[in-house]
Amino acid sequence: MKNGCNGVEAMLILVAAVLAFPAGGRARAAGVAAGVIVLQAANLVRVVSLFWLGAHHRSVFELFHAAVWQTALILLAVGLFVLWTRRIGARGARA
């Protein structure tokens, strides 16, 4: 697997956002850990689906490889960050 196909860019975006957010160390560590696990699971689904597309639907492989899945992983990273910030904000409001 080449660089760029391993989900690292989406993870870096999420990790940078979580670390830049004003939250406690424990909340940041939990956000990074959970986000990395979810993104790696999504990337595994991505790789398996691309393998299947390459074997059975070669005509759409490049579209899904270069556009659909790349966009989906970045949007997932942003969505995870938004969910994490809402959860952290809700905890701060309760405290």
Q: CB under 8 Å to 32, separation ≥6 — which residues?
A: 14, 15, 18, 19
Q: In the predicted model, what is the mean pLDDT of the chain? A: 91
Per residue in 30-67, pLDDT (tens digit) is 999 999 999 999 999 999 999 999 999 999 999 999 89
Q: How far apart are CA 34 and CA 76, in angstroms?
A: 13
Confidence (pLDDT) at 89: 79
Where do the domains of the chain lie?
8-94
Closest CA to 14 of 68, 82, 65: 82
Supply the pTM of this predicted model.
Answer: 0.89
Confidence (pLDDT) at 94: 53
Decide if pLDDT at 4 tops 90: no
Per residue in 57-72, pLDDT (tens digit) is 999 999 999 899 999 9
